[in-house]
A and B are shown apart, each in its own frame.
Chain A
Amino acid sequence: MRALLPAQDILSFAFSDEKGRAYVCLFADALTDKDLLAEQVLRPLFSYAGAPDAQAVAENTLSPEVRTQTSLSALAEEVLAGNPVLLWEGADAGLIVGTKKVPVRAVAEPPTDVAIKGPREGFIEDVKTNTSLVRKRLKTGELRVEMLTVGRRSKTVVALCWLEGTCREEVVREVRAKLSSIDIDILPDSSYLTRFLASRPHSLVKQVGTTEKPDIFCAKLAEGRVGLLADGSPIALTLPYMLIEDFQSGEDYFVPAFRATFTRFLRLFALLVAIYLPAFYVAAQIFKLQLLPVKLLLTIAGSIRDIPLSPSLEMLLVLLVLEVLNEASIRMPKYVGMALSVVGALVLGETAVSAGFVSTPAIIIIAFSGIGLYAVPNLIEETSVLRLLMLLTAGSLGTYGILLLSALVLTYLVSTENFGVPLAAPFSPLIPHDLRDSFLKYNLRSMKLRPTALNSPNKRRQK
């Protein structure tokens, strides 16, 4: 056994029982609750005088989580996972004791999904805590949690969750099969899984839903989706994914329907502005001045008169500065962040304008676009790339380029499916019933059925 576990943080404790039989307990130093191990397993065995078979020894412990295992390699894996293993003289099998104690942080509100109304709990990096947060909300025997292992070396536990009878069996089977086929060294985060679960792995568009909040996760399970919780990641995955999900926030369900509808349209507007505004500004300047009202045109003309750069180059430069500032502000220590804001906003912005490098409208437009992007935070990766592509196209082909690129993106979006569910549903293909929880948000009492797009075997969710 020692040959399988040569690491120095794997400790062993040898002792003997009342009959003088030798025992050895192997455990990972930092991952085991030693007090619990001593109290529930070791102390009762000191005075044990029964038969040496595994069943009898297990019955003599006070631990509620005891398993037997005959394979030495499997026992070694359990020790590495944090579960102590007990071996003794004349044993027919080893005993695995569930006294793992992993250092975890407290359950807190996720920084990326802050809610004014509604639950504030967020997932953490421990899969057991996360499954308990789910189980707390779904006290039904229909909730299935299947623990799978992914990663040859990391052996990361991934909890596959679904509601039996509500989620389509084929989806569960397909997700399970895809997870089983993953052959990767380590799985540091759930985002790795998204690449393996997507029908188009190289796609610009995400194909797996993400959430950090157990209430949203449970709501998605109740709609008929499959959920995945990976050990070591606070971000849960949900499947099948539809693009509209990222326009819905958890809070929409805790405020009046008209308010939720308004904010959803606002998010759409903000996203469209974020993607298209810089591109249209450039296209309007270079190719089609009529797009702008005369007075605005004159104001802009006054601002850009002395700018040495072309409109597209100017806009690209400002966009690049914004992206750099954004990247730096995320990575930089918090106490330097304030200084960075001052340098970014005042020095780079104000001075660049007064020095005549860039115009004021360009900074205003990029600032507005940058803010608009965060109205739908889960799509930032996709939308920031799209914004850049639109800008480059506008600079070279003008408004017609924007139109063609939009047509291309639309075609791509509507023809993408994952687990049999179209990404652009319920708009394309049009599913009239599902429009009740799209950009429009109907009253809760009107949403009696689960989303049709998910094709749940249990269609009705309320009477």
Chain B
Amino acid sequence: MKPSSRQICFFLAAVAPVGKLVLMPAQLAADAGNDLLFPVLAQLVLQAALIFCVLLLARHDCTVFALVRRAAGDVAARIFAVLLAAFLLFFAFLPVVEQKITVRSIFYDTIPAHLVFAPFFLFSAYLSARALGSLGRVWDILAPLSAVGMAGVLLLSVGNADFGALAPFGAAGTGGFIDGIRRTCCWFCDSALLLAMIGLFPYRKGLAWKGTLCYLGGGLALLFFLAVFYGVFGEIAVLQTPAFARVSAFFSAATVLGRIDYLFIFALAFVMTFYVVLPVQEAVGTLAEAFGGASLLPPLLSVGCNALLFAAVSLLNLSPSQTISTITGTLFWIFPLFSAVLPLVLLALFGRRQREKIS
């Protein structure tokens, strides 16, 4: 079972933006203030270009592991697979923490025990052991759900937004812009996620363009959300996490109807659950391909990876803000290595070979 190119487009347009709605808006508000749209715009354009490159690589119809093996041999490819899997697990850490914050704030009135979050890892272990095709099929269902959730949240909150709060443009200066870009690197890694998927879906003519446009479409929705978010909260936006669950809380009919916005928030939280599992699934897939053989390997790897993540989340449970700050501030450089440098290097190596083959 392989995901189709349409499912890849659905992921880029509707699932990937949802992963950026929890902590990133508040982080951006802290770094770039009312100019929070500009760093995101820059990141989106950069990511779109990288996604285009990755989708060009997908024309080879072989996985990133196979590409590296072709270029550098078996041993180097295995080392690369371990490094990529480690990066994917590292990348998964922040979405898992975000998921935990979301769960705490939208699903419970009082802070629940840490163990309440543990069943997520059981679900993640189940899904990570499956082929990517299962996730692809889920994206078919998630795409409309994400669209409805996003539209609902925006519809219920746009009335309370004061877009004047976004003015004057450029108030944060170049420093704010650069800080905004630097600190959001950990959220804009979609090209790395896509890179780990190449070869696992069939490339159809025009997918590179379609995928890039879909990503930009999802990015536009994200920009609009950020504008509404800052419009609703203004300077206190830095305190509003998870952003997507806070932004519609002031809907005027909530006192009569109850928090009907929760329907849309739950829809987005549902989509997010699958987004969080994706890097873990890819890490398992990459390791299974590199060290494959036994059919029991993917389930074992899945259990191992999820146990590792659970341990990491449990250990860092006491100081989540420092952990997040370290990832977004100190370790930010790791993310462009895999989301920008790696795809470009692979494109430089194999893009030319492809042209030679064609000529």
Contact = CB atoms under 8 A, between A and B. Distances in A.
Interface of A: 287-294, 296-297, 397-401, 403-404, 406-408, 410-411, 414-415, 422, 424, 427-430
A280 to B, nearest CB: 10
Given A293-B256, A398-B107, A429-B7, A404 B273 contact: yes
A397 B119 contact: yes
Nearest to A393: B119
A292 B41 CA distance: 38
B137 A422 contact: yes
A287 B113 CA distance: 12
Contact of A427 (B107, B116, B141): B141
Contacts of A288: 106-109
11 contacts: A287-B112, A288-B106, A288-B109, A290-B262, A291-B259, A399-B107, A399-B266, A400-B116, A411-B126, A414-B140, A428-B141
Contact of A293 (B119, B138, B258, B270): B258
A199 to B, nearest CB: 13
Main SS of the interface on chain A?
helix
B130 interface: yes
B119 A411 contact: no
A361 to B, nearest CB: 15
A293 B127 CA distance: 35
A302 to B, nearest CB: 17
B120 interface: yes
B185 to A, nearest CB: 28
A120 B252 CA distance: 52
Q: Which 3 A-B pairs have the closest CB atoms?
A: A293-B258, A414-B137, A428-B140
Contact of A408 (B123, B133, B140): B123
Interface string B108-124: 11001000110110010
Interface of B: 1, 4, 6-7, 103, 106-109, 112, 116-117, 119-120, 123, 126-127, 130, 133-134, 136-138, 140-141, 255-259, 262, 266, 269-270, 273-274
Contacts of B107: 287-288, 398-400, 403
A401 B108 contact: no
A434 to B, nearest CB: 12
A429 B137 contact: yes
Contacts of A427: 140-141
A150 to B, nearest CB: 31
A403 B273 contact: yes
Contacts of A292: 258
Contacts of A291: 258-259, 262
Nearest to B104: A400
B141 A410 contact: yes
Contact of B259 (A290, A397, A408, A429): A290
Nearest to A403: B270
A249 B77 CA distance: 55
Given A414-B137, A428-B138, A403 B108 contact: no
**Which of B6, B108, B126 has the most chain A CB atoms closer than 10 A to its own CB?**
B108
Contacts of A406: 270
Contacts of B274: 407
A424 B137 contact: yes
Given A293-B256, A397-B119, A287 B109 contact: yes
A15 B108 CA distance: 88
Contacts of A401: 119
Contacts of B256: 293
Contact of B130 (A398, A415, A430): A415
Given A404-B120, A430-B6, 10 more contacts: A287-B112, A288-B106, A290-B258, A294-B255, A294-B258, A398-B108, A400-B117, A401-B119, A404-B123, A429-B7
A403 B138 CA distance: 14
Contacts of B270: 403, 406-407
A401 B255 CA distance: 26
Nearest to A287: B108
Among the interface residues B6, B103, B117, which one has the most CB atoms of the partner chain A within 10 A? B103
Contacts of A397: 116, 119
Contact of B140 (A398, A404, A407, A429): A429
A429 B4 contact: yes
A244 to B, nearest CB: 13
A399 B109 CA distance: 11
Nearest to B116: A397
A410 to B, nearest CB: 6
B356 to A, nearest CB: 35
Contact of B134 (A289, A398, A399, A414): A414
Nearest to B6: A430
Nearest to A289: B109
Contact of B266 (A287, A403, A429, A430): A403
A407 B109 contact: no
A24 to B, nearest CB: 61
B273 A293 contact: no
A411 B127 contact: yes
A375 to B, nearest CB: 21
Contact of B273 (A296, A399, A407, A415): A407
Nearest to A294: B255
Specify which of A400, A401, A415, A428 lies most central, judged by the most chain B CB atoms within 10 Å of its CB.
Answer: A400
Contacts of A428: 137-138, 140-141
Contact of A415 (B103, B106, B137, B269): B137
A415 B7 contact: no
B3 to A, nearest CB: 9
Contacts of B140: 414, 427-430
